Structure 1
Amino acid sequence: MKTPVRILIHGSSGRMGQALLRLSKQPDSGCVVVATVARRVALCVIDGVPQFAASELASVPDFDVAIDFSLPEGFDAILALCLARKRALVSGTTGLSPAQQAALAAASTQIALTWASNFSLGVAVLHDLVERAAVLLQGWDCDIVESHHTRKQDAPSGTALTLGSAAAQAGAQPHYASIRAGDIIGEHLVQFTAAGERIELVHRASNRDIFAHGALHVAQRVYAKPAGRYRVGELLG
């Protein structure tokens, strides 16, 4: 039987942290949570998992990979810990500053890591399809329409911008539109249009657990990789 990957969850009090905790307990998760870290903790141990406050980060037990869904102000500390212990990092923390993005790039020369604005495996495939379409459809109009719930404040979404970056690197000039309505979890439509024809590439999320499942999937694959920065799409197999 394969030995479970030892996971440290950084940002465990958030929605993603809680989903990671819940899904990692499933028999087929392939992971075991050795500790969690949150800004504040009320108990030292919950359901057998040690809980650490952010100020106690240096005291966490050994782990194979840290999964970070926190805030930009907490990112530097978890990156430094992974570098100090030579452990892999999987991060979905958004809003990183240019300096933090530069630190992430520098860290990839020493440890294996993945940073993504969206850990859906389907979105990873969509990213590759968009890139391929943009290469083949030079001169076509490219429009990205993203839809989310009314509480989402940033627009365009980070995922839309990532898809647009993929299209732009392949020669397209993406335009964006954002919809905020109801309780939509997330929909991304990338449309390529020319005279008389149109191609639509779309991904719809109907359950937020897909993002936690994706992060656990990536963690199981990236921790054993040599130092480098890996996209989610490179770790699908």
Structure 2
Amino acid sequence: MKYGLVGAKGKMGKEIRELFSSHGDDLVLEVDVDHFVERGIPEVIVDFSSPNAVPTTVELCKRYSAHLVIGTTALTQEHFELLRELGQHVAVVQSFNFSEGIAIFQKLLRNFSRLFTDWDCWIVETHHNQKKDAPSGTALMLKREVGREVPISSLRIGGIFGEHVVYFANANEVFEIKHSALSRKVFASGARKAALFCLKAKKGFYNFLDVLEGGIEHG
């Protein structure tokens, strides 16, 4: 697979480069602040960088007719409009979390949150002290799956890669679902699954659950 990488010098960029390289993928486009190296035409571009890079990333995808896998957090409605428009031309996979466990977490909440309608609910998310946005995009995804207004507590401490807990409680019981990421490799692995999915998918706007379930195009 020939791929491009936006945020090539960042921590996630290095994880993605290392994992993709271990599978023999060819990095033909490197993009970062004051850094642009082109060695060929990418089939797919991977971006885990900054919301500020989204317009540039979209333009690069159009220039090369490349699919897009984007895991950038703190996206605005304007960013989503750009990505959905791009999805009219190529396959776009967007998620705030490319962990398979988080995708399963989403599905569990989607299917069973209705059973906890009369219970209190609270989400607690913990990340390393370098993470800028709070609450995390993942916590917001989980909140949407709960399907009602839910408070979110955000902790920024140490070097934790990502921990999300959803609590349900009544006067007599506490039920919790927890997911912990043990390294950034889990996100790089999910990004590669999404990139391979793009190579076979029809143009459209997808999320990571679509990738794991075989692809359901979103309007």
TM-score clears 0.5: yes
User: What is the letter of the counterpart of residue 32 of structure 2?
Assistant: A
Report the more deviating stretch, 30-39 or 68-77: 30-39
- How far apart are the structure 2 equivalents of 1:121 and 1:112? 20
From 9, 12, 18, the equivalent of 2:8 is 12
- Match in the other structure for 2:146: 167
Aligned counterparts of 1:110 and 1:136: Cα–Cα separation in 2:
40
1:73 aligned residue: 52
Structure 1 Cα separation of the partners of residues 130 and 83 of structure 2: 29
- Residue 89 of structure 2 corresponds to residue 120 of structure 1: no
Aligned to 1:83: 62
CA RMSD in angstroms comes to: 2.0
**Which residue in the other structure is 1:62 paired with?**
41
User: What is the letter of the counterpart of residue 167 of structure 2?
Assistant: Q
Where does residue 25 of structure 2 map in the other structure? 31
2 CA distance for matches of 1:154 and 1:77?
21
Three-state SS of the structure 2 residue aligned to 1:233 is: helix
Regions of 4+ moved over 6 Å: none
Aligned-pair identity in percent equals: 33
| 2:217 matched residue in structure 1 | none
Residue in 2 that maps onto 1:207: 183
Q: Secondary structure at the match of 2:69?
A: strand
CA-CA distance at 1:30 after TM superposition = 6.2
User: For this pair of structures, how many residues does the alignment match?
Assistant: 213
Give the SS at the match of 2:151: strand
What is the rounded CA distance, in whole Å, between the counterparts of 1:83 and 1:35 in structure 2?
14
What are the Cα deviations for residues 176-206 of structure 1, in whole angstroms up to 9, with x where unaligned? 1122333222110012223433321110111
Aligned partner of 1:229 in structure 2 is 205
Q: Give the one of 129, 134, 148 matched to 2:113.
A: 134
Structure number with larger C-alpha Rg? 1
Q: Which amino acid aligns with 1:7?
A: Y
Name the aligned partner's letter for residue 84 of structure 2.
A
Q: Is 1:157 aligned to 2:136, yes or no? A: yes
How far apart are the structure 1 equivalents of 2:77 and 2:8? 25
1:21 aligns with 2:11: no
Q: How far off is 1:60 after superposition?
A: 5.9
Name the SS of the counterpart of 2:187 in structure 1: helix
Q: Which residue of 2 aligns with 1:40?
A: 34
Q: Identify unmatched segments of 5+ residues in structure 1.
A: 42-50, 53-58
